[in-house]
């Protein structure tokens, strides 16, 4: 096996013309994957956003409760499940590249089983969220409302885990258009679902939370039917298998670091919101920081699509025993991310004087937002680079290295720097964002160093060993 891989690695042509055509071909492949994924991610995010918008029309207390519950749910549940599902980027992607197609269905089932089990303790925490928030000093009315809202989000969380597994399962096979179409149909129907549950049935705030579960279930159902009937999935989905109950420890060895990678970054941005409430004039600081976070999240969708695309490309090529192709894909995506990040940063700088008015009619908020925009533009460029480099890490199956990098970048560098800039240097909200910028610099440079030092031939061998260590027992049984 190693000889075959090394032979494949040495077959790449070195002339300039073929290398140039290879780059163009790789750009097309990545854009084909990233385009629908960007649209799909944007549409998926509208579900939570529309629900909160409906709640906002029920009053300030309902909005405050739902916003707090949504933030708590993201930190304690959705980030954890999304992170664990990212392990399928490696497992399914490399299995597909190695043409061990039956393993994709096994990995998906195993992931769904593990995520369902993880949802149980999370649901128990959510059941007592109102008491937890009250104990942490939150307003009793807001805490009680948040507790009620998040309890109604429990069904959405359970469905969300299975939905993420289906998305990764299809994505690693380059089947991204169904994901986009399913997300689009869900986004179009979600406002009607919200209106029915919130207004029509009179469920109020809780109806908005239940609407998330209904929409996620509809999205999941569409993808599940597609997986079972589409000819493209005939080889990768062969029905339910007892193999899914075996190999759970191997799955967790990738899933846990994957979750840590996602959670460390996600939690750091949520922590910024909490810290902004401790600054002088907390209403202004929190409002402007929320605008910056929303803008950053919107700009992040394009790099997120590229990150998902490169994890698929790298894992597929390593699984197929083509290390040179995987290395080329990694180089190409860094260039694409730089182009996208620079373009987004330029737009942010150009609209800096007007952007604040899109969120608030208060001149003070708009002026403060305009001052923050250049810093935000730099962070958007860095965030795009770290996102695609994280995708490369996932494609290689090096989530453990990524987890340590994110932990160090944000909690040894970013958050301490944010505290120093904001409270010691008294730079307030600008200081908080400077701290996150420091974390992004450390994260991006560390991930770049890992990528540049990657032995691609060795990663291809590791991918083959990972795939066939799972595939051989099943083959021997037949």
pLDDT 10s digits, 110-121: 999 999 999 999
371-383 CB burial, b ≥16 within 10 A, e <16: ebbebbbbbbbbb
Mean pLDDT of the chain: 88
Tokens read off for 294: 């929303």
pLDDT at residue 290 in the model: 79
Question: In this predicted model, what pLDDT tens digit does every residue of 287-326 receive, in sequence order?
Answer: 788 788 888 888 999 999 999 999 999 999 999 999 999 9
Question: Is the pLDDT at 416 greater than 50, yes or no?
Answer: yes
Average pLDDT (49-60) is 77
Residues 252, 188: Cα–Cα separation, whole Å: 36
Residues 290, 298: Cα–Cα separation, whole Å: 12
Which region holds residue 15: left if phi is over 0, alpha if psi is between -120 and 50, else beta? beta
pLDDT at residue 14 in the model: 47
Instruction: Name the band, by pLDDT with cuts 50, 70 and 90, for residue 240.
Output: confident
How many Å separate Cα 26 from the centre of its chain?
23
Q: Report which of 340, 377, 255, 323 is spatially closest to residue 30, judged by C-alpha positions.
A: 340
Look at 261 and 48; give whichever has higher pLDDT: 261
Question: Is the pLDDT at 478 greater than 60, yes or no?
Answer: no
pLDDT at residue 330 in the model: 95
Burial (CB count within 10 angstroms: exposed 0-12, middle 13-18, buried 19+), residue 393: buried
pLDDT at residue 172 in the model: 94
**Planar angle of CA 128, 130, 134, nearest 5 degrees:** 120
Q: How many helices (H) and strands (E) does the chain have?
A: 20, 0
> pTM, whole model, 2 decimals?
0.87
Residue 432: how many other CB atoms lie within 10 Å? 27
Residues 263, 372: Cα–Cα separation, whole Å: 25
Question: Is the pLDDT at 13 greater than 70, yes or no?
Answer: no
pLDDT at residue 410 in the model: 94
Residue that is written with structure tokens 């609209």 in the block = 351
How many Å separate Cα 92 from the centre of its chain?
17
Question: In this predicted model, what pLDDT tens digit does every residue of 354-397 receive, in sequence order?
Answer: 888 877 778 888 899 899 999 999 999 999 999 999 999 999 99
Residues 12, 19: Cα–Cα separation, whole Å: 9
Question: In this predicted model, what pLDDT tens digit does every residue of 71-98 receive, in sequence order?
Answer: 889 889 999 999 999 999 999 999 999 9
pLDDT at residue 8 in the model: 40
Q: Report which of 292, 438, 309, 305 is spatially closest to residue 366, judged by C-alpha positions.
A: 292
Residues 85, 109: Cα–Cα separation, whole Å: 11
pLDDT at residue 471 in the model: 54
What CA–CA distances, in Å, run from 331 to 243, 337, 389? 37, 10, 10
pLDDT at residue 2 in the model: 43
Instruction: Name the band, by pLDDT with cuts 50, 70 and 90, for residue 474.
Output: very low
pLDDT at residue 409 in the model: 95
What CA–CA distances, in Å, run from 431 to 30, 172, 236, 426? 36, 40, 49, 7
* Distant-in-sequence, close-in-space partners of 417: CB < 8 Å, separation ≥ 6: 434, 435, 438, 439
Q: Report which of 130, 149, 86, 139 is spatially closest to residue 403, judged by C-alpha positions.
A: 86
Q: Report which of 357, 348, 390 is spatially closest to residue 262, judged by C-alpha positions.
A: 390
Determine contact, residues 340/306, Cβ cutoff 8 Å. yes
């Amino acid at each position: 096996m190693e000889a075959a891989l090394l032979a494949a690695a040495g077959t790449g042509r070195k002339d300039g013309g073929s290398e140039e055509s290879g780059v163009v071909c790789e750009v097309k492949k990545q854009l084909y994957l990233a385009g629908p994924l960007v649209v799909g991610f944007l549409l998926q995010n509208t579900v939570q956003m529309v629900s909160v918008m409906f709640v906002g029309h029920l009053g300030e207390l309902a909005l405050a409760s739902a916003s707090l519950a949504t933030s708590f749910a993201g930190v304690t549940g959705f980030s954890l499940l999304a992170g664990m599902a990212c392990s399928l980027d490696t497992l399914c992607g490399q299995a597909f590249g190695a043409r061990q197609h039956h393993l994709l269905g096994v990995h998906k089932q195993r992931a769904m089983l593990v995520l369902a089990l993880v949802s149980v303790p999370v649901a128990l925490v959510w059941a007592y969220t109102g008491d937890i928030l009250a104990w942490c000093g939150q307003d009793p009315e807001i805490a009680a409302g948040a507790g009620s809202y998040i309890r109604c989000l429990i069904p959405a969380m359970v469905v969300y885990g299975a939905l993420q597994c289906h998305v990764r399962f299809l994505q690693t096979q380059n089947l991204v258009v169904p994901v986009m179409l399913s997300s689009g149909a869900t986004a179009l129907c979600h406002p009607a679902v919200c209106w029915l549950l919130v207004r029509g049935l009179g469920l109020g705030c809780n109806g908005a939370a239940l609407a998330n579960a209904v929409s996620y279930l509809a999205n999941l159902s569409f993808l599940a039917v597609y997986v079972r009937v589409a000819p493209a999935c005939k080889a990768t989905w062969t029905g339910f298998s007892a193999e899914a109950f075996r190999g759970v420890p191997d799955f967790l060895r990738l899933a846990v670091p994957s979750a840590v990678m996602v959670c460390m970054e996600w939690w750091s941005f949520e922590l910024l919101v909490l810290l902004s409430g401790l600054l002088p004039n907390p209403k202004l600081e929190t409002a402007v920081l929320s605008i910056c976070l929303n803008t950053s999240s919107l700009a992040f969708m394009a790099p997120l699509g590229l990150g998902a695309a490169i994890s698929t490309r790298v894992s597929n090529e390593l699984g197929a025993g083509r290390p040179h192709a995987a290395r080329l894909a990694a180089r190409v995506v860094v260039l694409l991310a730089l182009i996208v990040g620079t373009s987004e940063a330029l737009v942010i700088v150009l609209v800096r004087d007007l952007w604040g008015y899109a969120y608030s009619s208060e001149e003070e908020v708009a002026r403060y937002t305009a001052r923050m925009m250049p810093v935000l533009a730099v962070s958007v460029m860095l965030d795009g680079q770290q996102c695609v480099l994280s995708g490369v890490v996932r494609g290689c199956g090096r989530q453990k290295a990524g987890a340590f990098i994110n932990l160090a970048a944000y909690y040894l560098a970013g958050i301490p720097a944010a505290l120093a800039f904001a409270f010691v240097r008294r730079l307030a909200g600008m200081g908080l964002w400077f701290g996150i910028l420091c974390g992004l610099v450390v994260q991006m440079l560390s991930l770049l160093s890992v990528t540049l030092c990657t032995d691609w031939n060795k990663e291809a061998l590791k991918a083959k060993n990972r795939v066939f260590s799972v595939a051989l027992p099943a083959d021997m049984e037949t």
